[in-house]
Structure 1
Amino acid sequence: MAEHLIVFFDVISFLAFLAAFVVLFRVPREGMGRSTRAFLQAALFIYILVVFSNVLEHSGITAALDPFEDYIEITFPLLFTFFLYTAMLRSEVGLRLISEKQFLYAIDMAEKRFQAFTEHTAALVFIKDADGRYLYSNREHGEFTGGSPNYRHAMKWPEELKRVLKEHDALALKTGKWLGEETVLDRNGQPCMFQVSKFRIPQEEGIFLIGGIAIDITEKQKLDQDRRRLATILEQLGEGVMVTETDGTIVFVNRAFEEIAGYSQKELIGQNSRILKSGRQDEKFYRELWDTVVAGRAWKGVMENRRKDGSFYHEQATIFPVRDETGAIIQYAAIMRDITRELEMEETIYQSQKLETIGQLVAGIAHDFNNILTAISGYSGLAISSLEPGSKVRSHVEKVRDAGERAAALTRSLLGFGRKQMIQPRVLDISEEIRKLESLAKRMIGEDIELVLKLGKEIPPVFADPTQIDQVLMNLLVNSRDAIHDAKNGGERKIIIETSEAELDESYVNTHVGSTVGPHVLLNVTDTGKGIPVDIQLKIFEPFYTTKKSGLGTGLGLATVYGIVKQNNGSIFLYSEEGQGATFKIYWPVYQPEGMVSEIRKEFPMDNSAIRGDGVILIVEDEESVLSTARAVLETAGYTILEAESAEKALEMMESYEGPLDLLFTDIVMPGMNGMQLAEKLSEMRPGLKTLYASGYSEAVLEQRGLQGLDASLLLKPYSQGELTRRIQNLLNQER
């Protein structure tokens, strides 16, 4: 009975599968894919054969196995699977057959959605064949090209551009996609940059189309270029730039800021700006700064910060808030310029100007002082001449004269600082001058200090007064000796004097106030003393400034050195650190014969012995004490004296005076008419009249006042009676 039942089911299954097979083969082609149809047809055919063979088997050919169990284990799963698949297929096919209109409607809607998307997007959308002919393009593409997708103007594109585009198409066909940038020409021939995505679209067997979407990035590229240009400018900017978050965290610094602060960008990014604080500004300073920028205003000012190496620097800074499009403050930016060197230069210039002003003041004082010394020297000389040698009174007067001479030496030092000292320069070798002073220098500094000479050979000559060279060297040696004695550190006790050639260029001159471009001879004096603190270095060339104990220094040594160097168009600089000794560098211009301007005058020594003579001399002097001294000296020497207190009175006198006149002895700078104007008018009245000028000013000052060309007819105050009478005799003995 069971076998008959199985056969019955097999027959029913066979008939059902046969019906499904027929239905399957009647499904329209458009209702199912070709691969799916072939698979189902083959499966049904095989299954019908299996069922048919099973019917034969259960008809009595085989009985070894339990027929019903075999059917359940093998046939039923296949039957169930097939019926399920057939039901799903039949349901889909049925729906498609019944709803063909709905199917076509869905396709139409899908096409409309595609059109709506492509026509309203800002991107260029296109489809073209493998030869580059456009099969579809959206409206944006048409507006860009100016018409049909196969636009005529593309034919005018450069061949290189066409070749590149074809290469991109070929890569898309070969690999399935290509993504990159393309530059094409718009309808007006202007180049435009696009971000392009090209992809392969399968068509028939072995045939593919090229689809593409292109987004115009021309403006973006311009913005990127502007951004890169701005970044380049920031990197090449000479000023430092720093950007921080609102909490002070550093997010950007440029190269100039790295150079200023000494940190690398990597070391600064992520750090708080407090890393740069020097501690030399109080909290009030920073609070005012932050209050300003937090309130949305820019802060401008000077601050002192600390570099990575611990050194300090001053910067001129502008700090301002950075806002977003809503106006909210999102960051802070700072533009900074290192002005450390500028401040140092300003201080140097200030000191130079101060010394110049002091020099002018000192020169004026020395001029007045010279008038007083002239009277002291003259009257003391006259008194000594009239007193018996060895007398007590004469001894007292000689001490007065000696004090006057010391005062005159002090005055010359003041004039040296003020660059008003008369000099007698000549061409000389500084190294040779130093060798002449070596033995004297060793005795002066003492045996406990080693003197080392490192003098250059065949260095070029300079144009200088050898006495001034000696004066400069001795003052520097005394300064170094005292610095070594003050050190008391038990270390090396040495003074080194060096000479060499030096060429000063523009870069050096621009950073060293007072120096000049050109060849120089460098004189270095270095000691191992206690060094000079920074706050004192700016004052050491000031007259009367000294750090020595009372009575141990006049404060004029380095001031005199400074004045002498400047008078000879040289420059002097100090390099010193406290506890590390000091080096004075003096740059003396090399002798250049052409265009040399000198103040060649001979300073006669004080001489108390007057030289007698005869003749009539007119003395014109506005300072009564000087006038009376000159009159007394010259009358004692045998001359007949006429005198006047001004140039105007002298002219009035000469208009009525008909007697002889051999020489005019006149002060140069006087109220009203000066001595040179007086001499000119008297020469018209008395041709051939000889003139001797006197002044407490140097020729340099006189030239500034428009009084030049005095040649050898100038006598500097204070002068001795011997000096005055000798100069007058020399002039009177000259042939008319």
Structure 2
Amino acid sequence: MAELQHILTAASEMKVEPTIFSADGHNIHQLKTFEFIVADRLVAQELVLLFEEHEVAGEGISPAIIAVTRPDTEALPTSHQPGCNFDGLLTFPMTGTQVRAQLSAIMYAHCAFAKRYSDAWRELQLNRRIFRSITAGISVASATVPDLPLVYVNPAFEEMTGYTRAEVQGRNCRFLEGNERHQPALAIVRDALAHRRKGVAVLKNFRKDGTPFWNELSLSPIMDDEGHLTHYVGIQTDVTKRVDLELALRESEKLAAVGRLASSIAHEINNPLTSVMNLNFLALSTDCSQETKNFLVTADRELKRVKLITEQSLRFFKQSTKAQSTSPSELLDPILDLYQSHASNAGVTTDVRERPSRPLVCMESEIRQVLSNLVSNAIYAMQEHGGQLSVRSRECGMWGNGREGVLFTVADTGTGMSAETLSCIYKAFFTTKGIGGTGLGLWISCEIIERHRGTIEVRSSQRPGASGTVFQLFLPYEGIASKTEVADLSRSLRSPSSTLRSVLEH
């Protein structure tokens, strides 16, 4: 009783309201409201274990646990021995002054520790919230365990890959590579791991459902206070759109280079071709057998055909710098000439119907690019089984605004497109041609049509015996739009409400 009285007196002098409770049936939430607890050694040990479980679970700092011991009890482990987690000891007999001094010293140390613990815990919680809110994927791998297993991934990583934290924990992140185990960029990752330094690599990875994506991995080593490597942190960013754009731009540069080369070749062919045609003409005027003249006439006809192709090629690749007046036939004829052999090789017959029309004011090379894309797509749709390519042009008016212009129709009897494909054909990088397509043709075509205040519509069928696709392109006679008009037109370009007043037969 004297010991208890000393403790109560000391607590009162420290301006702490004392509470006496029974060791049986104590509630953890009630106990956590105390600043410190003084108990016999066995009870104190139970409380230490109880509070440690809650601290591991992240439930904050526990009150100071002070064990009471006497000389006649078994020796307690010192603070240097394992298992001794008391915040302090009171070894009786002690005077009231000694108890007060000892409690004051214990509580001073405990409060200082509690403040540091609380600050560290708040910082840890903040870091966790930051990790969970970052939109880039974050993964942490242990460097002290063989094969660098993952020990943490944030929600963005789970969303990006489709794998949950439980599914990836303990695994090396190479499972994201699928069968792509020989990517050149992996050499950057291996070099960074071998030399324990930072590295950035763009890797082809696969989501849980097998969908590929391009992952920009930023790898960084984490050291402890003694400079020993403990972990690797990886930041994953989905850069699929950027990589696709870079690939498309490279492909576009290749196509542009091929176009310039073709134009240069056509230009260089013209001069010697003209000389050969002149020589052939002179040969026809000389005395020679009828059989020889027949050969020369045939040669002259083929030379004229070659000259027509080169002239059409030069016109096709000529870039417009300003709007100019041109007829529908001047837009279509070079394209049909260029694709004639391609269509023949694919077993495609061409049916062309052009009705007289007023000239269009447009960027000639841009509109030719749109029509070329529609014709080439139509031939591609029929390359396996052949078919018929129908090309039409006629004057037409638009409902609602009274604008007049020219309606171009490009139709094929190919396999047709599904509703899902139709909903995606105007999106950048969407293609049905595999590695043979860039997915930019119709996307760029839409931009060109917007600038010319035109519209484009498509209908397609996959019905057996009646499959095919029809594209209809309307261009007003005065078609070049200003920049402010383009913004308004872009919202209604693909709207089903922009219906043509008259529709050409398929």
TM-score by length of 2: 0.48
Task: Identify the structure with the greater helix proportion.
Answer: 1
| Larger Rg belongs to | 1
TM-score by length of 1: 0.35
